[in-house]
Structure 1
Amino acid sequence: MQQLIYFIQKYKYVLYFLLLQFISLFLIINNHSYHRSKFISSANSITGGIYEKRKSVSDYLDLNIQNKSLAEENVKLKNEIAILRSQLDSTKQFTVIDTSLYHQQYKYIDGIITKNEYHKSYNYLTINRGKKDGVSSEMAVVNHTGIVGVTDAVSNSYARVRSILNRSNEINVRLKKSNASGNYYYGSLSWDTKSYQIVQLSDIPRQATINIGDTIVTSGRSAIFPEGILVGTVNNVDSRESSNSIAIKLFNDMSSLRNVYIINNFDKKEVRDLEQGINE
């Protein structure tokens, strides 16, 4: 308290001057409309800037909540689309519509990548979804840009994903465009470990017309990936003359992944059992 009194005594003239300045400004602003409007305008500009900065900080801190909400909404929409596609397929095949035929073939589960490898020969990712979320092995993993990989091992709360950047992978794909007869050309996708941005497409028939920029998508011929999931674009066709291998530039930046969707094919077991019985 004594220090405060000492401070006031020491700077009493300065404090008195500032008080008079404040009173004079108050009287000017209060008694002159022009000065009052200028003061209000300046005050609004300053407070508006402060509120805008505070909102920017608040929005940044809320990004995780917003991303989670968007991911949940996207999963809901994808599942609704999957149901509608099943219904459309049923109505195309049957004149009399039997509601028992309507079933959802694919279910989407949202997840977040907690670990991502892309610089090894056999790369794996870890996602925060496991058995308790309905995830099992051999499920497709994608995001809004394209394919990511296939679930490999699953615990109660987490799953390991075999990345598309894994030299043991072979994924059935096709050209998005069809030929003159309306048919598609199919091939196999693999990775030569040289670049995390480029994978290799092989086994495409030599009569297929392929141009740089052509889009590659999943074929739907496996029990894992639905048809039409984006993969990438043709990056180079020159090497095809000697090795029948085409360089494909991935749509996904595999070094920067976060939100993904795990796809459960309800018909996978039925298809696998049928194929195994035929092979035996």
Structure 2
Amino acid sequence: MRNLLRFIIRYHFVILFIFFESLSLILVVRNNNFQKARFVTSFQSTAGYIYNKIDILTEYLDLQKANQKLAAENTELKNILQRMYRSDEVFFYSDLDTVYRQHYFYTSARIINNTINKQHNFLTLNKGTGVGIKPEMAVISSEGIVGVVKGVSNRFATVISLLNTDLKISSKFKKNNYYGSLFWDGRDYRKVLFREIPYHVDISLGDTVITSGFSTIFPEGILIGTVCDYEVKGGNFYEITVELTTDFKKLDYVSVVSNLQRQEQLELEQSFDND
């Protein structure tokens, strides 16, 4: 209370000035219809501007939450479809027993760092071993292929980007299943090269290229891009330029793909190689 009194005594001239100015403004507005209308209009305009800015900010914050929710729901939907789609028929004593086996599991994550202007580009995700992410897991987006997980900690993961000259992806044409090797040549971040396709294969501009499935990392059929140029090189094979469907400058949310049957396949193939 003593501090309040000191404040009032110290600034009483300012307080009185503000009081009388406010009183004058109120009297002018109340007794003058023109001034009253101007005041109301100005107040409404200012309030409308403030409310509009608040609404824009609220929409932005809500949009961030909506994106996170949508990414989580999309990932869950992929997992549900995997559980419904994959099945193996197992026969025991002439009785049919259908066992549903999920092949892939998807985990949503957000990109918190991303480079595209180097020869060996990488991304960083905001999730790691704490949610089951491990090295050599595929990373995809709603637009297509992104890369492969390389390093992990409890809360983060680094990803070898498709825009990395060290990464090669087994790919194929969607229309005829002819497969080859796809990689980035370090030039245009929107284009990659597709090789090992025999020259007798029918190719057209706009043909869709997808993952082949001949890998324990990427599921079959993940979109990569479309043919934008091609020519015969080396006499027997095409060199094909593919325009990526994934725009690496706009990436935000991704899905990390875990192949639940990967270890079984690797062990079987390794035993064959050792024979």
- Normalising TM by the smaller chain, what interval? 0.7 to 0.9
Q: Which amino acid in 1 is paired with 2:251?
A: L
Alignment of 1:79-228 (within 5 A): 79-87=79-87, 90=88, 98-99=97-98, 101-178=99-176, 184-228=177-221
Q: How far 1:47 moved relative to its partner?
A: 6.4
Q: How far 1:52 moved relative to its partner?
A: 4.3
Higher strand content, 1 or 2: 2
Look up the match of 1:264. 258
Cα root mean square deviation, aligned: 3.2
User: Counterparts of 1:6 and 1:126 in 2: how far apart (Å)?
Assistant: 59
Once the two structures are superposed, residues 72-129 of structure 1 have per-residue CA deviations (whole angstroms, 9 ceiling, x without a partner) of 1111111111112114xx47x9x97624x20111100011112212222222211122
Look up the match of 2:24. 15
Paired residues in the alignment total 256
Q: Which amino acid in 2 is paired with 1:266?
A: L
Look up the match of 2:6. none
Q: Do the aligned partners of 2:199 and 2:232 also contact (CA within 8 Å) in 1? A: no
Q: Which amino acid in 2 is paired with 1:54?
A: I
Q: Taking structure 1 as reference, are residues 102 and 23 closer, same or farther at Cα in structure 2, changes over 3 Å only? A: same
Q: Do the aligned partners of 1:214 and 1:234 also contact (CA within 8 Å) in 2? A: yes
Once the two structures are superposed, residues 217-245 of structure 1 have per-residue CA deviations (whole angstroms, 9 ceiling, x without a partner) of 11111111111111011010135576621
Once the two structures are superposed, residues 139-166 of structure 1 have per-residue CA deviations (whole angstroms, 9 ceiling, x without a partner) of 1000000000011122222112111111
Q: Which amino acid in 2 is paired with 1:256?
A: K
Q: Which amino acid in 1 is paired with 2:79?
A: N
Once the two structures are superposed, residues 158-203 of structure 1 have per-residue CA deviations (whole angstroms, 9 ceiling, x without a partner) of 112111111221211111112xxxxx21111112112211111001
Look up the match of 1:35. none
User: Counterparts of 1:244 and 1:8 in 2: how far apart (Å)?
Assistant: 85
TM-score (normalizing by structure 1): 0.79
Q: Do the aligned partners of 1:217 and 1:227 also contact (CA within 8 Å) in 2? A: yes
Look up the match of 1:32. none
User: Counterparts of 1:25 and 1:96 in 2: how far apart (Å)?
Assistant: 92
User: Counterparts of 1:142 and 1:237 in 2: how far apart (Å)?
Assistant: 26
Q: Which amino acid in 2 is paired with 1:267?
A: Q
Q: Which amino acid in 2 is paired with 1:63?
A: L
Higher helix content, 1 or 2: 1
- Which segments of 5 or more consecutive residues in structure 2 lack a partner in the other structure? 1-11
Look up the match of 2:3. none
Look up the match of 1:275. 269
Q: Taking structure 1 as reference, are residues 7 and 166 closer, same or farther at Cα in structure 2, changes over 3 Å only? A: closer
User: Counterparts of 1:248 and 1:119 in 2: how far apart (Å)?
Assistant: 19
- Which segments of 5 or more consecutive residues in structure 1 lack a partner in the other structure? 30-38, 179-183
Q: Which amino acid in 2 is paired with 1:203?
A: E
1:234 paired with 2:231, answer no
Q: Do the aligned partners of 2:211 and 2:222 also contact (CA within 8 Å) in 1? A: yes
User: Counterparts of 1:121 and 1:20 in 2: how far apart (Å)?
Assistant: 71
Q: Do the aligned partners of 1:240 and 1:246 also contact (CA within 8 Å) in 2? A: no
Of all paired residues, the percent bearing the same amino acid is: 37
User: Counterparts of 2:230 and 2:249 in 1: how far apart (Å)?
Assistant: 25
1:251 paired with 2:257, answer no
Secondary structure at the aligned position of 1:237 is classed as strand
Q: How far 1:63 moved relative to its partner?
A: 3.2
User: Counterparts of 1:212 and 1:241 in 2: how far apart (Å)?
Assistant: 21
Q: Taking structure 1 as reference, are residues 48 and 190 closer, same or farther at Cα in structure 2, changes over 3 Å only? A: same
User: Counterparts of 1:7 and 1:220 in 2: how far apart (Å)?
Assistant: 76
